[in-house]
Amino acid sequence: MSAVANTKAFTPSDIRSRKDGTPLVYLTAYTTPVARLVDSHCDVVLVGDSVGMVLHGLPTTLGVTLDMMIMHGMAVRRGLERALMVVDMPFGSYEESPEQAFRSAARVMAETGCAAVKLEGGEAMAETIRFLTGRGVPIMGHVGLMPQAVNTFGGYRVQGRGEDGDRIRGDALAVAEAGAFAVVLEKVPEALARRITGELAIPTIGIGASAACDGQILVVDDMLGIFSDFRPKFVKRYAELGGIAEAAIAAYAQEVRDRRFPADEHLFGDAPRTVNGGEST
Ligand code: KIV
């Protein structure tokens, strides 16, 4: 099945040209209703592979498949009118060769209607990024802490402290030179994020990388307080919707047990009743 890209939405070149402008606002979304909520407030909506941990209960993002990303991408597409939609390439769908990456990205773009994909990796992925961008696939890079490399990093640690900063800087420069239109910097020290942001011609999008970046991204379920399995320091909780939802569920359960729900207003009689001029069956 193929999806039609939204030609009225922001494009990757619109985002690229926002370097040094008003900070770019990114959030994740995995479903149509959440996409509808975030669309008018965000410049970019990322269908992140964090969906594996947040919605599917996986321990890491490594078990996420291309089919899962496409299914969530299709759902998000239906909820967006304005924001640029970017879909994450999952672990194992792009690292083998530029050709494998192109086949996966082409499927994601054709089936979801997204205008760009994101992939993790710096210098090691530069050749692939050049191959894809030269063939009609706009790329958002992702360097610093790369969750798909959690086993190599030995955990979700801050990256680029001290002399290790040169490695992250080299990765960011390689991604930009290869043609990416923006790059996520995850969990790196503020001074390093500031330096990389000053050196790169493309916007840096921070997550745990300070306000020195050209924009910010958070996982929407984290900032709404719905997903609590994992609480990194860089997440600010703008609401506690998990607690509100649990209180509502507890109230429902209690009312069912007390036979207080359903009440009269939720019942159907033998004859149709007319409510506000319309018919309620
Ligand atoms: O998968 C994801 O949601 C991400 C962002 C948090 C950057 O990669």
C-alpha of residue 233 to centroid of ligand 1, in Å: 15
User: For the chain, what percent of residues have pLDDT higher than 90?
Assistant: 89
Position 21 confidence tier, pLDDT thresholds 50, 70, 90: confident
C-alpha of residue 263 to centroid of ligand 1, in Å: 44
Q: Which protein residue's CA is at the shortest distance from atom 8 of ligand 1?
A: 48
Position 279 confidence tier, pLDDT thresholds 50, 70, 90: low
Q: State the pLDDT at residue 7.
A: 65
Q: State the pLDDT at residue 4.
A: 59
Atom of ligand 1 at shortest range from CA of 120: 8
Q: State the pLDDT at residue 1.
A: 47
pTM of the full structure: 0.94
C-alpha of residue 177 to centroid of ligand 1, in Å: 22
Distance CA 153, CA 186 (A): 13
For residue range 213-271, list pLDDT tens digits in order: 999 999 999 999 998 877 889 999 999 999 999 999 999 999 999 999 999 999 998 88
Under 8 Å CB-to-CB from 85, ≥6 apart: which residues? 6, 9, 44, 45, 47, 73, 76, 77, 112, 113, 114, 115, 116
How many Cα atoms are found within 13 Å in the side-chain-facing hemisphere of 59?
3
For residue range 184-227, list pLDDT tens digits in order: 999 999 999 999 999 999 999 999 999 999 999 999 999 999 98
Q: Tell me if 88 CB under 6 Å of ligand 1.
A: yes
Contact between residue 209 and residue 233 where contact means Cβ atoms under 8 Å apart: no
Q: Which CATH superfamily is domain 12-236 in?
A: Phosphoenolpyruvate-binding domains (3.20.20.60)
Q: Tell me if 38 CB under 6 Å of ligand 1.
A: no
Residue 123 annotated to the active site: no
Q: What is the average pLDDT across 65-94? A: 98
For residue range 40-79, list pLDDT tens digits in order: 999 999 999 999 999 999 999 999 999 999 999 999 999 9
Query: For all residues of the chain together, what is the average pLDDT?
Result: 95
Return the domain boundaries, the chain.
12-236, 241-267
Position 277 confidence tier, pLDDT thresholds 50, 70, 90: low
Q: Tell me if 210 CB under 6 Å of ligand 1.
A: no
Q: SS3 string of 231-252? A: CCCCCCCCCCHHHHHHHHHHHH
With residue 271 as reference, give the H or E element that holds it: none
C-alpha of residue 191 to centroid of ligand 1, in Å: 22
Q: Tell me if 112 CB under 6 Å of ligand 1.
A: no
Whether residue 118 is predicted with pLDDT greater than 80 in this model: the reply is yes
Contact between residue 137 and residue 145 where contact means Cβ atoms under 8 Å apart: no
β pairing state of 44-47 and 84-88: parallel
List C-alpha distances in Å: 85 to 1, 63, 88, 155, 272. Answer: 18, 22, 10, 29, 46
Whether residue 131 is predicted with pLDDT greater than 90 in this model: the reply is yes
Q: Which protein residue's CA is at the shortest distance from atom 4 of ligand 1?
A: 48
Task: Give phi and psi for 35, each to the nearest 5.
Answer: -60, -40
Q: Tell me if 54 CB under 6 Å of ligand 1.
A: no
Q: Tell me if 219 CB under 6 Å of ligand 1.
A: yes
C-alpha of residue 56 to centroid of ligand 1, in Å: 15
Q: Which protein residue's CA is at the shortest distance from atom 5 of ligand 1?
A: 48
